[in-house]
Chains A and B, each alone.
Chain A
Amino acid sequence: MASPEFNKLQAMDESQNKLRQQGGETSARPTTNGAVRRPPASREAAPGTTVGQVRARNAFLTAEDVNVHYGDIHAIKNVTLEIGRNEVIALIGPSGCGKSTFLRCLNRMNDTIESARVTGRIMLDGQDIYSKDLDPVALRARVGMVFQKPNPFPKSIYDNVAYGPRIHGLAADRSELDHIVHKSLDRAGLLKEVKDRLDEPGTSLSGGQQQRLCIARTIAVNPEVILMDEPCSALDPIATARIEDLMDELSENYAIVIVTHSMQQAARVSQRVAYFHLGNLIEVDETEKIFTNPRTKLTEDYITGRIG
């Protein structure tokens, strides 16, 4: 099956090779590494070999022993991670390490990939999101997602934002819908720029505006968690800065999980950082600790630019 996952696998192989080469020059490391990575006495880090604080204060979204297979490929291995209320957590790691896959587990977007198999438990506010009684449609209304490439619908700006409220029947009448649309655009910091041209196509906006439109569209459904898959990778620095500011504001109301390739961005926006490598969750900790004092060699290599 030629699929995006296959490409990911190749990327994994590449980074593995790089790692082996590095292993060559630092042959003494495995033991020290092992020592560092040995799970502490608490059972927190036992599944996989995650180091640091996988538990969050005030946990809201909890992943427990999550494994993802794409056919024969084991893309996520025993990942346990908690995400707190009003917390911004950044998932970092080299390409193909599984951070996007993990993100897509959190709103069951992997369901759309036929070969994907997710095991383990993911609880949203105490409810198993993979249980049979839970409709992914209801879940995705609670866990919104912003994608890497801005993907507004080829509809008007208004209809883009109104789409979610419309399909879920959130607004009783037109004026209520207007209110939701305006409020969402305002919270996404876009209202000023577009309020006079709400009936123009969403695709006519600039890249940064489009991405903010996508964020407005997501928050119009009033989700509890927002997943962001490299939301700024296609944007220029100014648009990126605006989105980062926006994330800051949004974190007052939402839990945000962001996948990013930019260490600076992770440092700027997140309270906690999780480092993924080859499907393993290597290290999770407060952002400052990860960037100033990583506990594993792999994390250190990555954040100093030696992997990825």
Chain B
Amino acid sequence: MKGAEARKETRRKVEQSLGRRRRKELSFRILGVGATALGVTFLLVFFASLIAQGASAFMQTYVSLDVEFSREHLVPDGEPDLQFGDFDALVRGALRAQFPDVTGRSERRELARLVSVGAAYQLRDALADKPELLGTRLAVFLPASSEVDMLFKGKIDRSLPEEQRRISDLQLEWTDRLVAEGRLERRFNRALFTNGDSREPELAGIRGALMGSFYMLLATILISFPIGTAAAVYLEEFAPRNRWSDLVEVNINNLAAVPSIVFGLLGLAVFINWAAIPRSSPLVGGLVLSLLTLPVIIIASRAAIKAVPPSIREAALGLGASKMQVVSHHVLPLALPGMLTGAIIGMSRALGESAPLLMIGMVAFIVDIPAGFTDPATALPVQIYLWADSPERAFAERTSAAIIVLLGFLLAMNLAAVIMRKRVERQW
């Protein structure tokens, strides 16, 4: 009888506590859902604003003008001269033909500013492609200046007084006339992907920074992945456990937390001043970023090696495999996916770094597109920083566009790494 009483009491207590436990679980779930939702919301807001701001940068306004490739301007001494031919005069002439009523000197200068300074180069390239154009008249789409571009995209407030606008009343009127004639057209902004940096927003492109980042990350992965994994394998499989190895471990963990600008200073002192590697080059950037990613790769690789079951090592040792064979035949293949994950994390971090690059001269205004590891270059995050700092209205949307490109680069890189990891995982 007493046993039954006690059992009843136990059951009552368990049931009593049940409600409390359920409430706890429920509140934790609500908290979790809330946190996730908040995170997703921030992400969506971020992407939405980025796309809203940057999408228009992928289009550029073009003006359709009838250009006469006049011999007068292009053939100064008998031969068509691509270098010294006055292509600007062709653009000016086409604009005057379009607006015959504009006569004043300063008005004509204003008129010329409707079209990008890059228009002359476009005409030169066209002539270089087709010499038979000489002496003909042709309707050509020329890039509009960034002010006209902004106006056409509706990003300039017409109601502002003239002196507060980047576009004058006259230019406004001419632009409206062009619109009315259907001579303005939005086209895909190829310049954004083919050009290097420029002071003129409509000519500024991301390619220089993209290639700079590409070469820099290539250098980083080529340097840091072999060194990092070799260090991890040595520390995990071969190094004796003593005070020295403990010291090394503590130092590696601390290095992972060192502010990146410190690595930039180190790179400046060692790689540029002492080793005399050309500054602003992807090579020196890659070296500095390697220092930055090495601890990350080493730590992740060591964790991956540690996770390889000891029974596999014992099995191989028991068959008479040497230490090196155990590592290369069994430990490395099994740890490789984890090592790759570490490399992805390290590379993602390296791609987004700008602070150390400021110290090694990669913040410069560089127009040429780097074609190798030692050409002067800049990187995507630095380019974003430079554009965000520029006063022209058109750079605002290009900044967002550059961020979108950077995120795309990151996505492509991670995707490649994930595919690679899947492949080695399946292979085991």
Verify that A and B bind, or say they do not. Answer: yes
Residues of A at the B interface (CB closer than 8 Å) are 107, 109, 112, 114, 137-141, 144-145, 147, 149, 151-155, 163-164, 167-168, 201, 214, 217-218, 221
Residues of chain A within 8 A (CB-CB) of B315 are 147, 151-153, 214, 217
Whether A145 and B316, one on each chain, are in contact in the complex, defined by CB atoms closer than 8 angstroms, is no
Residues of B at the A interface (CB closer than 8 Å) are 240-241, 309, 311-322, 325, 329-330, 334, 428
The CA-CA distance from A250 to B316 in the complex, in Å, is 21
Whether A221 and B241, one on each chain, are in contact in the complex, defined by CB atoms closer than 8 angstroms, is no
Nearest chain-B residue to A146 (Cβ)? Answer: B318
The CA-CA distance from A145 to B316 in the complex, in Å, is 10
Whether B428 and A167, one on each chain, are in contact in the complex, defined by CB atoms closer than 8 angstroms, is no
What is the distance, in angstroms, from A215's C-beta to the closest C-beta of chain B? 12
A137-B322 contact, Cβ under 8 Å, with A109-B317, A114-B240, A163-B316: yes
Q: Which of B309, B316, B318, B329 is in CB contact (< 8 Å) with A107?
A: B318
| A-B CB contacts (within 8 Å), total count | 64
Interface of chain B: mostly helix, strand, loop or mixed? helix
The CA-CA distance from A280 to B318 in the complex, in Å, is 25
Whether B311 and A149, one on each chain, are in contact in the complex, defined by CB atoms closer than 8 angstroms, is yes
The CA-CA distance from A97 to B313 in the complex, in Å, is 24
The CA-CA distance from A137 to B317 in the complex, in Å, is 8
Whether B312 and A221, one on each chain, are in contact in the complex, defined by CB atoms closer than 8 angstroms, is no
A167-B311 contact, Cβ under 8 Å, with A153-B330, A154-B428: no
Whether A144 and B319, one on each chain, are in contact in the complex, defined by CB atoms closer than 8 angstroms, is yes
Whether A154 and B314, one on each chain, are in contact in the complex, defined by CB atoms closer than 8 angstroms, is no
Whether B320 and A221, one on each chain, are in contact in the complex, defined by CB atoms closer than 8 angstroms, is yes
Nearest chain-A residue to B241 (Cβ)? Answer: A114
The CA-CA distance from A221 to B317 in the complex, in Å, is 13
A109-B318 contact, Cβ under 8 Å, with A147-B311, A154-B428: yes
Could you list 19 A-B pairs, sorted by A, with CB under 8 Å? A112-B313, A112-B314, A112-B317, A114-B240, A139-B320, A140-B319, A144-B319, A145-B314, A147-B311, A147-B318, A149-B311, A151-B309, A151-B311, A151-B312, A153-B330, A154-B312, A154-B334, A163-B319, A218-B318
The CA-CA distance from A151 to B321 in the complex, in Å, is 15
Residues of chain B within 8 A (CB-CB) of A214 are 315
What is the distance, in angstroms, from B103's C-beta to the closest C-beta of chain A? 84
Q: Lowest 3 A-B CB distances belong to which pairs?
A: A141-B320, A145-B318, A151-B311
Residues of chain B within 8 A (CB-CB) of A153 are 312, 315-316, 330
Whether B318 and A144, one on each chain, are in contact in the complex, defined by CB atoms closer than 8 angstroms, is yes
Residues of chain A within 8 A (CB-CB) of B319 are 140-141, 144, 163-164, 167, 217-218, 221
